C-alpha cells in the first residue's frame, strides 16, 4: 500500500501502569508489565478502531490478540491487548487508530509523567517537583498542570456549546410550561358552566381536579412520547460529542422525561386547582 492508501495510526510509548492510571479499560488481553523489557519479545496494545480495521469479524478485539504487525521497519510487534477507544485531540473527533508500546522497548527522550492521587492534585505538584529533583537535579520539568487544566482549552468550545444548549433547553422547558398552563387555563374557562353544574350535582373538589387534569396529563404523555421517539432518532448526530456516556443513556432519558412530566403536571394543576373553587351559582350564569 502506498501514498494515500497507507493506513496511519497514532502511537505512544507508555509505562507499565499507564492504563490503570488513565483508567483506560482493556477490552481483551493485558497491559504492559515489568517483564516487557528490552530483551523481551516486542509487544503492543492497540485500540478498538485498530482491531476493527485490520481484524474484522464477530469479535475483532479477540481476533487481534496474538497477531503480529510491522511498522515500517523489519521487526514485528505482537498484539497482547486491546484498549477501549478514546479521544486524542478533540471531543468531537472521529475514531482514530492508536498503538501503545512499552516505554522499556520503545524509549522516548521526552516523556509525560502522569500521576493519579486521591487528594487534591494541585497540592501534589510541589511534591512531584521535589521527587523529580531528587532523581535528577538537571532534569527539566515543565508544563506541570492538573488534568482538568490541561483539558480546559480543548474542552472550552464544547463547554460553551453545552452552556448555550442548556440555556435554550431551559428556555424551551419554561415556554412549554407556560404554553400548557395557558391551554389548561383556557380549557377550564371554557368548561366553567359544566364544572358549575357538576359541583351543583354533588361533584367533589377531587372529582373536578381529576377531570381538569386529565387533559393536561394526556397532552404531557403524548408530548413526552413524541419527544423520546425524535430524540432516539437524533442521538446518532451527537454520538461523536459524547465520551463515557451512551447517546441513549437510560438514566438521562428517564430523568428528563420525569422532569418534563412534572413541569406539565404542575402547569395543569394550577388551573385545575382554581376550577375546584368555582362557585356553582356564578358558574351557572357564565356564558
Q: Give the tens place of pLDDT for each residue, 103-118.
A: 989 887 778 888 888 8
**CA proximity to 46, closest of 92, 76, 11:** 11
Q: Give whole-number Cα distances, 45 to 66, 104, 260, in Å.
A: 11, 14, 45
Q: What residues does each domain of the chain span?
A: 3-112, 119-144, 148-284
* Kind plus residue range of the DSSP H or E element containing 44: strand 43-47
Q: What pLDDT does residue 97 have?
A: 95
Q: What pLDDT does residue 140 have?
A: 82
- What is the residue-wise DSSP string for 62-113? HHHTT-EEE-SSS-EEEEEEEEPP--SS-TTPPP--EEEEETTTS--SS---
* Positive or negative torsion for Cα 100, 101, 102, 103: negative
- Return mean pLDDT, the chain: 83
Contact between 241 and 160 (Cβ < 8 Å)? no
Contact between 278 and 196 (Cβ < 8 Å)? yes
Give the number of residues written for the chain. 287
Percentage of the chain lying above the pLDDT 70 cut: 91
Read off the pLDDT of each residue in 249-272 and give the average, rounded to a whole number. 82
Read off the pLDDT of each residue in 199-228 and give the average, rounded to a whole number. 81
Give the position of cell 477507544: 85
Q: Give whole-number Cα distances, 90 to 53, 157, 243, 246, 247, in Å.
A: 21, 10, 11, 18, 18
**CA proximity to 280, closest of 196, 192, 189:** 196
Sequence-distant contacts of 164-173: CB under 8 A, at least 24 apart: 173/259, 173/260, 173/263
Give the model's confidence band at 79: pLDDT under 50 very low, under 70 low, under 90 confident, else very high.
very high
Read off the pLDDT of each residue in 228-255 and give the average, rounded to a whole number. 74
Q: Give the tens place of pLDDT for each residue, 37-48.
A: 888 999 999 999
Cα gap 46→216, rounded to integer Å: 54
Read off the pLDDT of each residue in 205-226 and give the average, rounded to a whole number. 81
Q: Give the tens place of pLDDT for each residue, 15-41.
A: 989 999 999 999 999 999 989 988 899
Q: What pLDDT does residue 240 have?
A: 62
Is the per-residue pLDDT at 227 higher than 90? no
Give the position of cell 487508530: 97
Which one has a higher pLDDT value, 113 or 64? 64
Cα gap 191→188, rounded to integer Å: 5
With 0.85 as the threshold, say if the pTM is over it: no
Q: What pLDDT does residue 191 have?
A: 73
**CA proximity to 52, closest of 78, 85, 80, 5:** 85
Give the position of cell 356553582: 280
Q: Give the tens place of pLDDT for each residue, 148-192.
A: 888 777 778 878 888 898 899 889 888 888 887 887 778 777 777
Amino acid at each position: 500500500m502506498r501514498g494515500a492508501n497507507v493506513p496511519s495510526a497514532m502511537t505512544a510509548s507508555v509505562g507499565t501502569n499507564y492504563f490503570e492510571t488513565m483508567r483506560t479499560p482493556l477490552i481483551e488481553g493485558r497491559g504492559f508489565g515489568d517483564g516487557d523489557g528490552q530483551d523481551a519479545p516486542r509487544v503492543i496494545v492497540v485500540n478498538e478502531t485498530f482491531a476493527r480495521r485490520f481484524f474484522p469479524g464477530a469479535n475483532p478485539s479477540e481476533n487481534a490478540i496474538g497477531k503480529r504487525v510491522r511498522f515500517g521497519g523489519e521487526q514485528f510487534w505482537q498484539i497482547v491487548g486491546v484498549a477501549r477507544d478514546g479521544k486524542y485531540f478533540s471531543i468531537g473527533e472521529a475514531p482514530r487508530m492508536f498503538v501503545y508500546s512499552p516505554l522499556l522497548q520503545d524509549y522516548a527522550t521526552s516523556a509525560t509523567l502522569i500521576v493519579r492521587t486521591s487528594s487534591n492534585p494541585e497540592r501534589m505538584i510541589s511534591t512531584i517537583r521535589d521527587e523529580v529533583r531528587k532523581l535528577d537535579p538537571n532534569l527539566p520539568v515543565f508544563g506541570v498542570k492538573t488534568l482538568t487544566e490541561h483539558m480546559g482549552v480543548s474542552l472550552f468550545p464544547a463547554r460553551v456549546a453545552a452552556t448555550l444548549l442548556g440555556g435554550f433547553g431551559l428556555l424551551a422547558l419554561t415556554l412549554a410550561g407556560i404554553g400548557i398552563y395557558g391551554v389548561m387555563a383556557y380549557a377550564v374557562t371554557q368548561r366553567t358552566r359544566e364544572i358549575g353544574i357538576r359541583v351543583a350535582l354533588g361533584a367533589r373538589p377531587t372529582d373536578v381536579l381529576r377531570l381538569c387534569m386529565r387533559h393536561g396529563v394526556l397532552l404531557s404523555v403524548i408530548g413526552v412520547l413524541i419527544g423520546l421517539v425524535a430524540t432516539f432518532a437524533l442521538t446518532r448526530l451527537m454520538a461523536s460529542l459524547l465520551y463515557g456516556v451512551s447517546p441513549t443513556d437510560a438514566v438521562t432519558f428517564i430523568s428528563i422525561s420525569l422532569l418534563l412530566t412534572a413541569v406539565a403536571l404542575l402547569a395543569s394543576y394550577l388551573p385545575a386547582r382554581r376550577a375546584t373553587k368555582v362557585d356553582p351559582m356564578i358558574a351557572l350564569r357564565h356564558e
